[in-house]
Amino acid sequence: MGNLKNNIDHYMELKGIKMYSHLLVNIAHELGIKGQDAYKFANKEKSNFSKMLKDERPLKYEFIIPLEKIFGVSLARLLDEDAYKLPTEKVNVPFNKGFRYYAYLDDPKLYKEEFNILLAKDGKSILSQSDEFGKTFLDYVVEYRSVNGVRYLYEEYGIKLEGDSNYFKFEKDSGITWINFDNSIAFARLVASMNDAELFNDIYDSYNMFFTLGFYISDYTIFSRSEYLEIMLDNDTLFSSIFEIRSYEYVLGSRAKREKQVDSITFDLINPIINNCLRYALEHLGKYKHRAIDILKFGIKHNTEFINKVDADKYYICNELGGVIEFGRGGCFGCDVADIVVYVDIEVNDDEINALIEQLPKFKKSRFLQR
């Protein structure tokens, strides 16, 4: 069992599980242990689990099925020295045709000629199906880093994360499929590695929630999670994209369509994630001070340009994403927002940063944002 630790470490990395305690919590969930009891379970078992990994104690029988489900591989593969070493030649595929097969080969031609018509037994799209390990095509795209698979899903299905959860939208031939994908952070890392800002920002659509909600629900949406914000701040291409003005077509709801007498409105705005990135950078100046400086310098210029175009006293920040609206207009988000400005809502103990914050043109805030 000497290889168990190495192989578990490998699969933990693939699944984005950073610590053994996190893995034990996942095991607890598979055993039906929920809430705080799962964390108590992890704390109780961590010493024994460490000994199991060191081959000082046999692997508990009740851990076997949870581990197989979590990692999507059999116990035999976890124990085998070459468990995670796939053939160097991709023609020697070690499994039958299915969505895992196509993700592994990651061949654009096969995606279009074969995977495109692959259906489940019930006639539904294979995208929403899972295999015996509970893994979907998206799981295998992440595991095998199938960048061609990402582009295929983008071009053929317009894959897009919308709303306040981990639900991805796939649209093809007037049909829509929604998939709840818990591994959305690992998928975001994969998409970010492609260094295509347009692709990334289309899939992780921060504009949609800006217009539909006006805020990011921290307990549910990826756009407020520290891992996602670090992806944005660590990648030069993605970070630069938050300053770009993008034309975004917002499709109105039925009520707004009646009032505006149009089906949609096109806005030209910077990325609504910008103030979340600034807030996170200011909270972690040890790592992201340079990013905070860049955003604040941009904000000074951007806010000034907006003020020069309008009467600043007539506008206020109406939501936590920095949306500004004219006093007396409709709702606090959606089709009445005039622009997005940069603002600061936390205190910082840094002279250089505070000097920039002092230069940042300010706006009145909605009473809901008063602290």
Give long-range contacts, CB 8 A cutoff, 24+ apart: 129-134: 129/99, 131/72, 131/98, 131/99, 131/100, 133/68, 133/69, 133/71, 133/72, 133/73, 134/69, 134/72
Distance CA 357, CA 350 (A): 10
**Residues 142 and 186: beta-carbon distance below 8 Å:** yes
Which pLDDT value is given to residue 128? Answer: 80
DSSP 235: -
**Residues 198 and 240: beta-carbon distance below 8 Å:** no
Give long-range contacts, CB 8 A cutoff, 24+ apart: 346-350: 346/279, 346/282, 346/283, 348/282, 348/285, 350/285, 350/289
Q: How many CA atoms lie within 13 A of 113 on its CB side?
A: 5
Which pLDDT value is given to residue 333? Answer: 46
Which pLDDT value is given to residue 86? Answer: 54
Distance CA 266, CA 50 (A): 56
Q: Which of 282, 270, 353, 356 is nearest to 306 (CA)?
A: 270
Q: In which band, very low, low, confident or very high, does the pLDDT at 152 lie, cut at 50, 70 and 90?
A: very high
Q: At what angle do helices 20-30 and 61-71 cross, to 10 degrees?
A: 100
**Residues 189 and 231: beta-carbon distance below 8 Å:** yes
**Secondary structure (3-state) at 328:** coil
More confident residue, 178 or 98: 178
For the full predicted model, state whether its pTM sits above 0.85.
no
Tokens at residue 331, please? 């709702």
Residue 95 has pLDDT above 70, yes or no: no
Say if residue 329 is exposed, middle or buried (CB neighbours under 10 Å; 0-12, 13-18, 19+).
middle
Contacts with 360 (C-beta within 8 Å, 6 or more apart), sequence order: 296, 299, 300, 303, 342, 343, 344
Q: How many residues does the chain have?
A: 371
Maximum mean pLDDT: which of 32-46, 111-125, 183-197: 183-197
Which pLDDT value is given to residue 341? Answer: 93
More confident residue, 208 or 299: 299
Which pLDDT value is given to residue 332? Answer: 47
